[in-house]
Chains A and B, each alone.
Chain A
Amino acid sequence: AQKITQTQPGMFVQEKEAVTLDCTYDTSDQSYGLFWYKQPSSGEMIFLIYQGSYDEQNATEGRYSLNFQKARKSANLVISASQLGDSAMYFCAMREGTDTGGFKTIFGAGTRLFVKA
């Protein structure tokens, strides 16, 4: 079973509009972390935002906010006022514990966002 599901392979948004990138996750752990990363065409992964499973408030970082719905196991990324520079791949990731007491981060397949002028 997929641990992280990003159902939108590609999304288009008009510049200055808001866009929501979907992410659902699967875990039986009570304690986990959720992350979003941006990967421009240059290839480097850029951290955007983090949400802890026990955080009651949705995380926000500038134009990025994470719509966390724990019961539905969803962690959608909302980008407000899209800019041309937001065109990139976006990855949702989950960090959870392992059977050996360590941690592992699992990434989704990504959503490619295209911002239109």
Chain B
Amino acid sequence: DTGVSQDPRHKITKRGQNVTFRCDPISEHNRLYWYRQTLGQGPEFLTYFQNEAQLEKSRLLSDRFSAERPKGSFSTLEIQRTEQGDSAMYLCASSLDRLGLTDTQYFGPGTRLTVL
């Protein structure tokens, strides 16, 4: 059973650099989500895709953040000109859309970003 995978698991970068994270969802899942989680907080929604279409994007997602899911399978999240405030765990989740609100999201292990 292959769950959601994320790469890399850890990333340390210097302020101002660009970083890109990858998420591979569970193979038959058509929805993919990105969240950000800071220490002691719950995950904050960033964006989600249904197949290759990006359907919702949080206002938290500044112009420095961009996400793609070009073929409706894996997704990438890029952060340009990183800032120290971007340091967080970036979580990816996937789900199989059944009845909209009821689809259960399954999470990957996350990518921990540290911006120095």
Contact = CB atoms under 8 A, between A and B. Distances in A.
A12 interface: no
Nearest to B100: A103
Given A45-B91, A45-B107, A93 B42 contact: yes
A45 B56 contact: no
A101 to B, nearest CB: 8
A98 B58 CA distance: 11
B16 interface: no
B43 interface: yes
Give the contact-size bracket for chain A. Answer: 20 to 34
Given A102-B55, A104-B45, A105-B33, A95 B109 contact: no
A104 B56 contact: yes
A78 interface: no
B102 A103 contact: no
A97 B101 CA distance: 8
Interface range on chain B (Cβ under 8 Å from partner): 20 to 34
Nearest to A97: B101
Interface of B: 33, 35, 40-45, 48, 55-56, 58, 89, 91, 93, 100-102, 104-110
21 contacts: A4-B42, A31-B101, A33-B101, A35-B104, A43-B89, A45-B93, A47-B106, A47-B107, A91-B42, A91-B43, A98-B56, A103-B48, A103-B55, A104-B48, A105-B33, A107-B35, A107-B43, A109-B40, A109-B41, A109-B42, A110-B42
Given A96-B101, A103-B48, 18 more contacts: A33-B102, A35-B104, A35-B105, A43-B89, A43-B110, A44-B110, A47-B104, A47-B106, A93-B42, A97-B100, A100-B55, A102-B48, A103-B100, A104-B58, A106-B45, A107-B35, A107-B42, A107-B44
